[in-house]
Structures are given as structure tokens and as C-alpha cells.
Amino acid sequence: MCAEQISVFIENKEGRLAEVTAILRDANVNIRALSLADTTDFGVLRLIVNNNEGAKTALKKEGFTVGITQVIAVEVRDEPGGLNNILDPLSENEVNVEYMYAFANPQCKNAIMIFRFDDHDKALKILAEQNIKVINSQEICNL
């Protein structure tokens, strides 16, 4: 049970992030979570949105390079050690976290983290064995 993430490659220059968010606004696409990683010349904007196809179409129309990636959204107990309850069994089973970021949700008492693992199938199996709640794209948009 994976969620879909939009990845947008943007130049690392003034105004480009605002341009992307304006395009999404104008396409009536709601951003639910995001992460921005940059280098000297470009950045990768990772987004969880309520309408992947609408976002992809609108951004490509404006000349942006867009990809869709499978990620795993996990409910993490909002308490000391909550994240380690997720990471420890994955680490013990040699599943690598490629990247992760948080999902802001004031309506949920727990945190939601978005993960990209080197082996999604193995990660999903371990999470299920640990009774850790995995959230799909539709559930994210309904939060």
C-alpha cells in the first residue's frame, strides 16, 4: 500500500518555488505535504497532493520536469521514541531510508511521515509485522 508523490525539478533561483505553487493553486491542486532538497543549480520538490494527474499536467504544460514516485506514508506515535519504533525494525532488517519528511496534520494525534525506502516491499512487510499503520494516497487526502 504505497502513496504517490510528485517530484518536480526546479532551478535553484528566486521565484521558482512560488511559480510552482501558483501553478498548482491555479489548477486547484492542494498540497498536503512537501519537501525541498537543493543543490547549487537545481532542487527537487517532493509533494503529496490531492490530484496527482492535475498537478502533473499543469506543471508539464508550464515546462517543468515532473515524475511520480511510490512512497510509504506511516503513522508514527507522537511520543519520545515513536520514530524509533518505525526505524529500528527496518534497520535491523537492513532496509535503508533514502529520504523522509513529515506530513502536517492537526486533526491527527499522531505524526505522519513519508518515507522512500530502498526496498518498499520488504519495508511494507516489516511494517505489517510490527502492526504499524501505513496510509495510502486517498487516506492522506482525506485527513
pLDDT of residue 41: 82
Mean pLDDT of 52-79: 93
pLDDT band at 128 (very low <50, low <70, confident <90, very high): very high
Percentage of the chain modeled with pLDDT above 70: 91
Name the helix (H) or strand (E) containing 11: strand 3-11
Domain 2-69: state its class. Answer: alpha beta
Mean pLDDT of the chain: 89
- C-alpha distances (whole Å) from 78 to each of 46, 86, 110, 131 are 23, 12, 5, 16
Domain locations along the chain: 2-69, 70-142
The whole model's pTM is what? 0.84
pLDDT of residue 142: 62
Q: Interior CA angle at 135 toward 120 and 88, to 5°?
A: 55
**What fold does the segment set 70-142 form as a domain?**
VC0802-like (3.30.2130)
Same fold, 2-69 and 70-142: yes
Q: Can you tell me whether residue 86 is helix, strand or coil?
A: helix
Q: Can you tell me whether residue 105 is helix, strand or coil?
A: coil
User: How is residue 138 written as a grid cell?
Assistant: 486517498
Span of 29-38, 55-64, 83-92 with lowest mean pLDDT: 29-38
